Amino acid sequence: MFIDIDCSQMKKYNQNAYGDYFVSKRYPDEARLIAVLSDGLGSGIKANILSCMTATMLLQFIENGQIPIRKAAEIIMNSLPVCKVRRISYSTFSAIDCDDYGNAKIVEEGNPEFLWIRDNEVMTPEYETIQSKTFKNRKMKVYKLKLKLGDRLIFCSDGVTQAGLGGGRLKLGLRRDGLIVLVKDKLSEQADISSSELSQYIVNQARNIETDRHPKDDISACVLYFREPRESLIFTGPPYHQQKDAEYARMFDNFKGKKAICGGTTANLISRELNRPITMDTTISIGKLPACSYMDGVDLVTEGILTLTKTLEYLESNTTDIDNAAGKLVKFLLDSDCINFMVGAKLNQAHYDPALPIEIEIRKNIIKKMANVLQDKYFKKVSIQYM
Amino acid sequence: MDEKKISVKVCLGTTCFVMGSANLQELIETVPAKYGDKVDVMGVPCLGLCSIDWEFSKAPYVKVDDEVVKEATVEKVLKAIDEKLAQQEK
């Protein structure tokens, strides 16, 4: 299974920093994912610092694997200080440690209870309560779940469940029941909605029920969706050993999933080996990138280095919906969960001629950087094969 | 007179593109306006010439039928087309 995870957030009205903090990390070698959502006391910079410290510390405790998630959370719960002024906890948190096989361990302290949704019904998981030894009013819930394909987990900060509190229509706020109705309605309308869209939807809806649409607290929604992975393959650069062209072309052809080619020489290679003609887009290239080409059985064909460099730039700066070859490649990448790169190691000497008006990067380096951005920022699974 | 169309292929590979073939794309509009349907202009992903021509810096390349135009400019390409047309009329 692939775990599609995303978190959407909104700041409290009139604040310039998020008071909730979300952090997640994927460990492709262990097929594991850890995510933490923390809500810091107060709002703005202070809350941001508190929640950020709690979330990152917890993530590091869990990822080291020296102590189980339950123990890690207990230590944090027992040691978090209390605000002198308000006499309440410094921050609250939810943490999840799960894997691709559907095993999940969850701990919650102070945050609203998460939702576990299967076949559009809310499940009621069993949990164990651990009372803090140092603070009477603190206790955490520990869950151990076995998830199935299609399951969703939704974590929220209290900004969601308390949205609209004291307002006209919902005197007690949205609450958990309201959130369940909202999520179920959306899921019956759009059963395979992505985590990014669903989390965005929850946050927007929560904001909409606030008086004057001004959030009275930081709003965060984190969604995990366990589903079949969407695989894609990107072939870029001619292989170092030319005699293996046919073999690599066959590998490319046999791949089940979406396919892209980045590079003129690579496109020619596939066209020659698979005997499929290439046609180039007749529109004049927009901006500084060559136009896309078309080939049967391939979803996207672009030029190589320039397009890849631009794509990396777009990914780093969160730029989407651009109508050029790099914009199309960004969409291609973001619409996939598992991205496989086949990177040819052959260099074209002409690219390193100092007379060229711009500097051209080495393909391997661009792909390495792109893989890191896709993993760290967009939570994709990436594999690279050099040829 | 041979009625065969002349084919003009503008290389839009990386080297050619940065060396100026981006500007040659205007041929895609100007050539049909000038020569009608006697000439076919298209962009191609890569002609594969920069990697085998060890003088490298002759990019951008354009192919007018089988003739390679090195360091191509709009004027050079138009001249090559005119020459081809003149040959055909002989």
Chain B positions touching A301 (Cβ under 8 A) are 45
| CATH class for the domain made up of B6-89 | alpha beta
Q: B45 and A301 in contact by Cβ < 8 A?
A: yes
Q: How many CB atoms lie within 10 A of CB A245?
A: 18
Q: Which of A84-88, B47-51, B53-57, B85-89 has the lowest mean pLDDT?
A: B53-57
Could you tell me where the beta strands, DSSP code E, fall in A310-365? 338-343
Check whether A94 has a pLDDT greater than 90.
Answer: yes
> What is the tens place of the pLDDT at every residue in A221-240?
999 999 998 999 999 999 99
Check whether A83 has a pLDDT greater than 90.
Answer: no
ipTM: 0.85
CA A8 – CA A156 distance, rounded (Å): 10
Q: What is the pLDDT of residue A292?
A: 92
Cα-Cα-Cα-Cα dihedral of B44, B49, B51, B52, to 10°? 150
Closest CA to A12 of A49, A43, A53, A50: A43
Q: A290 and B43 in contact by Cβ < 8 A?
A: yes
Average pLDDT score over residue span A331-339: 92
Instruction: Name the pLDDT band for A285 (thresholds 50, 70, 90).
Output: low
> What is the tens place of the pLDDT at every residue in A17-75?
999 999 998 887 788 999 999 998 888 898 999 899 999 999 998 888 778 888 889 88
Q: What is the pLDDT of residue A11?
A: 92
B87 touches chain A (CB under 8 A): no
Q: What is the pLDDT of residue A99?
A: 93
B32 touches chain A (CB under 8 A): no
Q: Among B13, B19, B51, select the one facing A303 at the smallest CB separation.
A: B13
Instruction: Name the pLDDT band for A258 (thresholds 50, 70, 90).
Output: very high
Chain A positions touching B53 (Cβ under 8 A) are 350
Sequence spans of domains, chain B: 6-89
| Burial class of residue B33 in the structure, from the number of CB atoms within 10 Å of its CB (0-12 exposed, 13-18 middle, 19+ buried) | exposed
Report the chain A residue with the minimal C-alpha distance to residue B40.
A282
Q: What is the pLDDT of residue A168?
A: 67
Q: What is the pLDDT of residue A27?
A: 86
Helix (H) or strand (E) holding A64: helix A44-64
Q: What is the CATH number of domain A2-227?
A: 3.60.40.10
Which one of A240, A245, A261, A265 would you mutate to disrupt binding with B, by most B Cβ within 10 Å of its Cβ? A265
B23 touches chain A (CB under 8 A): no
CA A44 – CA A21 distance, rounded (Å): 11
Size of interface A-B (CB pairs under 8 A): 88
Q: Where in chain A is the domain with CATH 3.60.40.10?
A: 2-227
Instruction: Name the pLDDT band for B50 (thresholds 50, 70, 90).
Output: confident
